[in-house]
Structure 1
Amino acid sequence: MRGSKPPVRQVTARAQRREILAFVEGRETEERYLTHWARRHRDRVLVTIDPFRGGPLQLVEHAVAAKRRDERDAKRGRGKPYDEIWCVFDIDEHPNIEAARSLAERNDIALAVSNPCIELWFLLHFAERFAYLDRYEAQRLARAHLGAGKVLHERALETLIARIEDATLRAQKLEEKHEGDGSPLGANPGSGMWRLVDRIRNA
């Protein structure tokens, strides 16, 4: 899995749509969630989830390698590069977060980072949250609202989609709060998942 290459794409009429390549940390939750959004907007956007899984820095390293390979192939007339490449990961207790952010910024890789975890993003669909919380609390609260754990069933996914506007506003309000009080980038609680979802919804 670690040596996997991005899926080979055929250049067809589908290439007229915006194409996003996403590297995600989790094996179930993130892929299921993003795929559900992508299916709803497949007339305008194609979202490919790379099969590689790893920590934040490893994800960004693979994203950078994929982008360089993609651009090299495009110069040789073999397809066109992805319009956007994203990495989706949690802060959790991962090392090398700053190195991952720095590498992504230098190589124009977009990030959707949640602190402490993606369940915080799900929680924001139901309520504002300004106080610090750990991943266990975030997971417990999200599970209580959704009736689902790591494997999001169809009802949970539809519930999240129906509440996306509220979640986006709450995530933005958290960012404004952190900026206003001088909190560090990506402070707990917070999530940038709204940006990637917005790119899919408004491609």
Structure 2
Amino acid sequence: MKQCNEVFQNFYLRRTKKVTPIAKPQAIMAKRKQEIENQKVINFLCSENGNVQKDKILILCEGYTEVKYFSSLVEKSDGLEKIKIKKGKDVDPLSLVGEAKRYLSFDRTHEKKLSEVWIVFDRDNHYSYQSALEKASRDSQIKVAWSNPCFEFWFLLHFRRKFDDFSRTKSVWNPTTNEFEHLYDSKACVSKLKSCIQGYKKSDISTFKNLRTRTLKAIENSSFNQSDANELGSSVGLLIQSIIDSLVIQDDFWNKED
């Protein structure tokens, strides 16, 4: 395990270490938390006592809403040994792709245990959205679970399959392309979701529990657009299906409410 950690330092820390000013206590705590999460992924990718479990899945998420949702799903389905969920070091989609590539580089050189890395991020106002999608497509092991406009749209798919009331009502200046982008409004999406889930909060750890029995319906509802990331839709259902296939989850699992 010690050698495994040392190898990872060469692939990960060498590419991310920067000279920074003396950090405030909050920043130090955040950095320490990130280091702990990185170590968990290292342990996940490193074998112990020669026991190498193949075909593992790493899920890198933009935010904690996604982490809590997928963590609950995987924990309930007894998949913690095969699937690791982690919040990305940064929320920027392009940074998430870079982080995924660093873990894959480490894995390919060391254990070769990963079958794929999923990156979960939203359209929102991210300037690097298009670049991230393009860069991720160059590596067959990197998959993207996108939501347009936001992750809450995936939750909304548990209740609806028609979205005629959605339109591009938000204009954002993109300094990269030097032009305005007309986007779907994330706040409007969250507002619509609250009419389906009373008292919904991003920090709610019981979201998966509340939506569990509707999951297969959400996968069906999401089929209207899982390929064009520039339009209203979500490919999160493809990630859920990958988890189902990897853990061999039976249909009756989704009928439970505990």
Q: TM-score range by the shorter chain?
A: 0.7 to 0.9
Partner of 2:114: 82
Q: Is the 8 A contact 1:171 1:191 kept in 2?
A: yes
Partner of 1:21: 58
Q: Is the 8 A contact 1:37 1:201 kept in 2?
A: no
Q: 2:237 aligns with which of 189, 194, 197?
A: 194
For 1:107 and 1:95, the matched residues in 2 are separated by 21
**TM-score under structure 2 normalisation?**
0.65
Structure 1 range deviating more: 13-22 or 29-38: 13-22
Q: 2:156 aligns with which of 119, 123, 136?
A: 123
Q: 1:71 aligns with which of 99, 108, 111?
A: 108
Partner of 1:46: 82
Partner of 2:43: 8
Partner of 2:20: none
For 1:24 and 1:43, the matched residues in 2 are separated by 17
For 1:187 and 1:46, the matched residues in 2 are separated by 31
Q: Is 1:31 the equivalent of 2:67?
A: yes
Higher relative contact order (CA 8 A, sep 6+): 1
Q: Is 1:163 the equivalent of 2:196?
A: no
Q: 2:138 aligns with which of 92, 95, 106?
A: 106
Share of identical aligned residues, percent?
26
Q: 1:139 to 1:158 in 2, by over 3 A?
A: same
> Whose Rg is larger?
2
For 2:196 and 2:51, the matched residues in 1 are separated by 37
Q: Is the 8 A contact 2:58 2:118 kept in 1?
A: yes
One-letter identity of the residue aligned with 1:198: Q
**TM-score under structure 1 normalisation?**
0.82
Give per-residue Cα distances to partners, 1:116-153, cap 9 Å, x unaligned.
00001100101123333410111112233223210123
Q: Is the 8 A contact 1:88 1:113 kept in 2?
A: yes
Q: SS where residue 49 of structure 1 aligns?
A: strand
Structure 1, unpaired ranges of 5+: 75-79, 180-184
Structure 1 range deviating more: 111-120 or 60-69: 60-69
1:164 offset after TM fit, Å? 0.9
1:195 offset after TM fit, Å? 0.7
Partner of 2:96: 59
Aligned residues: 188
For 1:150 and 1:187, the matched residues in 2 are separated by 24
For 1:90 and 1:140, the matched residues in 2 are separated by 17
For 1:63 and 1:89, the matched residues in 2 are separated by 13
Q: Is the 8 A contact 1:130 1:174 kept in 2?
A: no
For 1:81 and 1:55, the matched residues in 2 are separated by 26
